[in-house]
């Protein structure tokens, strides 16, 4: 009997691991092969691709299927907005196709599944695109306000995040990082420092969390896809896949600060916890966030449409001060190595391993928990929004949509 249990466990872990692709190309090939399966439910489904680079054969691929009879609901899933995070996003996308799509009513429900918003970052295992732009800081509605934010980025913080010299030996890099980190924590505290860093910046093109001077090609394409679909359907649910932040071994539903329902109500409706808002109090606020942009477009251009947009944020290293410092150090060193190199050739592998641990853990137990959380959240969110019926029962009815404020 113990042997049988062990065999079942090993089989399950192998099955889960197969959901996670080994390369961007493998992930894209698998996504393209999904079309035939989707066409069994939506005969009108089609696959489209937007080329970003012919030399590297990089494309943003999306699968679209219109509701067969009446355009009432649209399910959208986006992955790899932060490139390296797309490997986990690809696993959830596969899970969605395997388990959720057969539960949807194709007569009234359409699909928009975007494989890799940032294929360059996914291929090269970076968060940013080729221009070092963090795409989730690039959905800007009013760029005239960015000067104030850029001016508030202190020189000391910029030097800390973006060293302008080659990476020295790892012990020297760690010593400099810790010394500077302790100084900044003493000045602004852990919460203040975290928000100042993660908000995004628009003055240093080689720096971390750079939002870009202009809309990026990836951003423009996604804006166009989402805006047009908002006009076609009465009710849109968008699920955006991310990794890196939050409790270790725990996925968090991260909601826009413009979502009218509070976190406690969303946890109750979806039967999933934790759920947080990116309002700077529960979860860090981002300038140029895709979900915030979508809520503003819905309010300004499509009043009366029903929208729920949420990020699945899969925590990796954890939330302790030590884990946060480790995460930030991995970010700083990876970016420094890319732009300034190192005299130590062994550092590249060490830094790459630490960066992968932050956004793409190889731990089988972590991956199993990520899939378990994703399955629960998919069922809970889509059940709460009325897209599927055999999901976690809601504890109270979903309220009618209320006007959303555009002020932060």
pLDDT for res 17 = 86
Which letter, b or e, does each residue of 300-315 get, where b requires 16 or more Cβ atoms within 10 Å of its Cβ?
Answer: eebeebbbbbbbbbbb
73 touches 29 (CB < 8 A): no
User: Which pLDDT value is given to residue 404?
Assistant: 36
Q: Is the dihedral of CA 348, 353, 358, 361 positive or negative?
A: positive
- pLDDT tens digit at each of 408 positions of the chain: 454 667 767 767 888 989 999 999 999 999 999 999 999 999 999 999 999 987 899 999 999 999 999 999 999 999 999 999 999 999 999 999 999 999 999 999 999 999 999 999 999 999 999 999 999 999 998 877 775 554 445 788 898 999 999 998 888 888 889 988 898 888 888 888 888 888 899 999 999 999 999 999 999 999 999 999 999 999 999 999 999 999 989 999 999 999 999 999 999 999 999 999 999 888 888 899 999 999 999 999 999 999 999 999 999 999 898 999 999 999 999 999 999 998 777 888 899 999 999 999 999 999 999 999 999 999 999 999 999 985 443 333 333 334 333 322
- For residue 394, give Cα distances in angstroms to 73, 286, 322, 398: 19, 30, 37, 8
Domains located in the chain, CATH noted: 15-141+213-316+361-384 (3.40.630.10), 154-200+322-356 (no CATH)
pLDDT at res. 399: 39
The pLDDT of residue 368: 96
pLDDT of residue 392: 44
Query: For position 169, what pLDDT does the model report?
Result: 83
The DSSP secondary-structure symbol of 334 reads H
pLDDT the model gives residue 35: 97
pLDDT for the residue 401? 38
Query: Rounded to whole angstroms, how far apart are CA atoms 294 and 74?
Result: 14
The residues pairing with 115 across neighbouring beta strands, listed in sequence order, are: none
> What's the confidence (pLDDT) of residue 195?
83
For residue 195, give every residue at least 6 positions away whose Cβ sits within 8 Å of its Cβ, in sequence order, or none: 280, 284, 285
- Cis omega (within 30 of 0) on the bond before 274? yes
């Amino acid at each position: 009997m113990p042997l049988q249990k062990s065999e079942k466990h090993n089989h399950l872990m192998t099955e889960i691991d197969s959901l996670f692709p080994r390369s961007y190309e493998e992930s894209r090939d698998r996504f393209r092969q999904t079309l035939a399966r989707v066409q069994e439910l939506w005969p009108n489904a089609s696959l489209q691709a937007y080329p970003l680079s012919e030399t590297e054969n990089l494309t943003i691929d999306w699968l679209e299927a219109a509701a067969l009879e009446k355009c009432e609901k649209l399910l959208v899933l986006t992955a790899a907005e932060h490139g390296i995070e797309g490997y986990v996003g690809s696993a959830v996308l596969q899970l969605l196709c395997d388990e959720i799509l057969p539960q949807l009513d194709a007569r009234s429900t359409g699909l928009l599944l975007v494989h890799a918003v940032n294929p360059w970052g996914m291929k090269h295992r970076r968060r940013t695109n080729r221009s070092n732009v963090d795409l989730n800081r690039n959905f800007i509605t009013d760029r005239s306000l960015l000067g104030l934010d850029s001016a508030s980025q202190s020189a000391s913080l910029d030097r800390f995040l973006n060293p302008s010299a080659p990476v020295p030996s790892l012990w020297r890099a760690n010593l400099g990082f810790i010394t500077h980190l302790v100084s900044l924590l003493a000045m602004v505290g852990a919460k203040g420092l975290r928000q100042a860093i993660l908000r995004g910046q628009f003055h240093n093109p080689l720096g971390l969390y750079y939002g870009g001077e202009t809309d990026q090609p990836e951003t423009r394409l996604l804006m166009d896809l989402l805006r047009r679909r908002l006009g076609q359907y009465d009710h849109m649910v968008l699920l955006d896949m991310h990794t890196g932040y939050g409790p270790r071994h725990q996925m968090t539903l991260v909601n826009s600060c413009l979502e009218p329902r509070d976190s406690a109500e969303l946890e109750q409706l979806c039967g999933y916890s934790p759920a947080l808002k990116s309002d700077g109090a529960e979860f860090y606020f981002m300038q140029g966030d895709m979900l915030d942009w979508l809520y503003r477009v819905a309010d300004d251009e499509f009043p009366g449409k029903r929208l729920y947009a949420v990020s699945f944020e899969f925590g990796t290293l954890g939330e302790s001060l030590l884990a946060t410092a480790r995460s930030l150090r991995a970010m700083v060193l990876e970016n420094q190595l890319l732009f300034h190199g190192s005299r130590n050739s062994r550092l590249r592998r060490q830094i790459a391993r630490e960066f992968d641990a932050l956004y793409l853990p190889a731990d089988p137990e972590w991956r199993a928990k990520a899939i378990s959380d994703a399955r629960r959240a998919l069922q809970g969110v889509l059940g709460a929004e009325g897209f599927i019926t055999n999901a976690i029962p809601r504890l109270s009815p979903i309220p009618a949509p209320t006007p959303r404020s555009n002020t932060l």
